[in-house]
Amino acid sequence: MNPVLRHPLLRPLRRTLCLGLCTGALAALPAFAQTARYEIDPDHLSLGFLVEHLGYAKVLGQFRTARGSYSFDEASGTLGAVRIEVETDSVSSHHNGRDRHLRGADFLNASSFPRMVFTAPGGRRTGERQYEIAGELELLGRKQPLVLTASWNKSAPSPIVKTVYVMGVSARGSLKRSAFGMDYGVANGWVGDEVQLIIEFEAIRK
């Protein structure tokens, strides 16, 4: 050490310099991730789909029963462990006869395959609040890649239940029915092969 700095009168200055350097070093370290688990609120979940009918127009349907969860670090925007489970017999297109057909063997075969499941290890951030979530969909006993584009709409305490912290998400995607062996009406053009997915939900931080 420089002899000048060893002088007793300069001890407070040495302590101040050390404290400043240590504080600066700590500030330069990356912050620890504050990852939290989120559960999708089933009362604020809309899972819809659009499929062409005979080329005239698209039929809008939905699944009434689903659940899901994921992990998220709001500070870094890191997404992980995505899982959404959908009850296939909860399908509804607002037409009883068509819904029975959709639950049957030509389409969802709900009695043999009661759930379809989407999983993804994480998501790639493509914008300030936009994500690309590359995962896998299991349907009719088959697994195929599925990519969702998602928007992180808002995160804030609920204005209704003050102790609850809520995150809102909008997601979109599409799949080919035939990739899962669901090829009814594809060859003759009665029912579109492409299914557009519409997902809107609120999730509660645990």
Q: What is the 3-state secondary structure (H, E, C) of 94-130?
A: CCHHHHHHHHCCCCCCCCCCCEEEEEEEECEECCCCE
pLDDT in tens, the chain (206 residues): 555 445 554 454 445 434 444 444 434 444 445 899 999 999 999 999 999 999 999 999 999 999 999 999 999 999 999 999 999 999 999 999 999 999 999 999 999 999 999 999 999 999 999 999 999 999 999 999 999 999 999 999 999 998 999 999 999 999 999 999 999 999 999 999 999 999 999 999 99
Q: Provide the 3-class DSSP secondary structure of residue 188.
A: coil
Q: Where are the domains of the chain?
A: 1-30, 35-205
In the chain the first and final C-alpha atoms are separated, in Å, by: 52
Query: Are the CB atoms for 96 and 113 separated by under 8 Å?
Result: no
Does the domain formed by 35-205 have CATH 3.40.190.10?
no
